[in-house]
Amino acid sequence: MAFNIASSPHTHSRRSTSDIMRTVILCTALGVAAQWYFFGWGVLIQILLASSTALISEAAVMKLRKRPVLPYLRDNSALLTGVLLGIAIPPLAPWWITVIGVVFAIVIAKHLYGGLGQNLFNPAMVAYVVLLISFPVQMTTWLPPSSLAASPVSLIDSLYAVFTGFTQDGYSVHQLKTSFDGVTMATPLDTLKTSLTTGHTTTEILANPVFSVIAGIGWEWVNIGFLLGGLVMLKMRIIQWHIPAGMLGSLFVISTVAFMIHPDATASPLIHLFSGATMLGAFFIATDPVSASTTVKGRLIFGALIGLLVYLIRTWGGFPDGVAFGVLLANMCVPLIDYYTRPRTYGH
């Protein structure tokens, strides 16, 4: 029998980058299913469009860089970027919005910095912020939940709306935003933010039919779906708990203190935790191993900083949700966070 001697590390992981990315994509399934159930076929159309555009863009860039195409496509990193961006885009946004965003994410936010492992920021969130700033109307056109919609939007109508701007019967996307009582619907966070600025109390705002027991109708289940998917990733050790715990804990503590001080002018902690992109950001966006902090203390600080920024932007910023901005601003602080949280050298 041969006795093999090898240098450290002695513990090896059999998970490849491709396996990890594929697992993350599969773990979004519950959240995507809830999003499709409440907001229609446009959710799946945007994800498929974004995913195919991401693969085409990745292949084109690899050709231009004179590198083999298939190995880079098989690592599933471009596919994951497309899926995450497709989830974040409104279901009936024009097709060109998705194409522009994905091309920007792959070409500029990823490969301009050298490709996988070299990007300073999360590519999907960079593209989302660029789209949100450049096309605010299209990026904030979310449909009302299916239970409040004036008429259901079929798969064919969704395809027509995404690629032409109108359904088969000639209804525009703006007309599809109206609820069964003829009121143009907005997302729960947008409704809350706008109503608070006009002097309404939180109790009055929560009487709006867009809100449910925990948070907004549909959005609470979407966040629960992504929460369950995130817990699966924690169980499988695809991600570590520090960043989600830091972000959700920070957001919960800050919103609880503010709600206790002024309950009529601030949202409850449950609304903050189960609205918008909170759970998607905590488990699938902020945990990006390339752009996040690398030390244990640093990951907790990184997550807590995102939670703080999300609350500040939602409360006083110009946008109803602040997850994408919070993640990108925290990405800027990663070198500083890592520098001051480096562990002591063994034996020092």
Closest CA to 190 of 226, 214, 219, 213: 219
Q: How far apart are CA 326 and CA 311, in angstroms?
A: 9
What is the pTM (predicted TM-score) of this model? 0.89
The domain limits of the chain are 41-142+149-184, 187-340
The first and second tokens of residue 24, run together, are 């993350």
Question: Given pLDDT bands bounded at 50, 70 and 90, which one contains residue 266?
Answer: confident
Q: Are 255 and 266 in contact (CB under 8 A)?
A: yes
171-196, pLDDT tens digit by residue? 677 767 765 444 556 778 888 888 87
What's the pLDDT score for residue 348? 67
What's the pLDDT score for residue 193? 82
What's the pLDDT score for residue 169? 75
Q: Are 307 and 249 in contact (CB under 8 A)?
A: yes
Classify residue 286 as left (phi > 0), alpha (psi -120 to 50) or beta.
alpha
71-99, pLDDT tens digit by residue? 888 888 999 999 999 999 999 899 999 99
Place of tokens 């996988």: 116
What amino acid is encoded at 124 in this protein? A
The first and second tokens of residue 268, run together, are 């409850």
Q: What is the chain's mean pLDDT, rounded?
A: 87
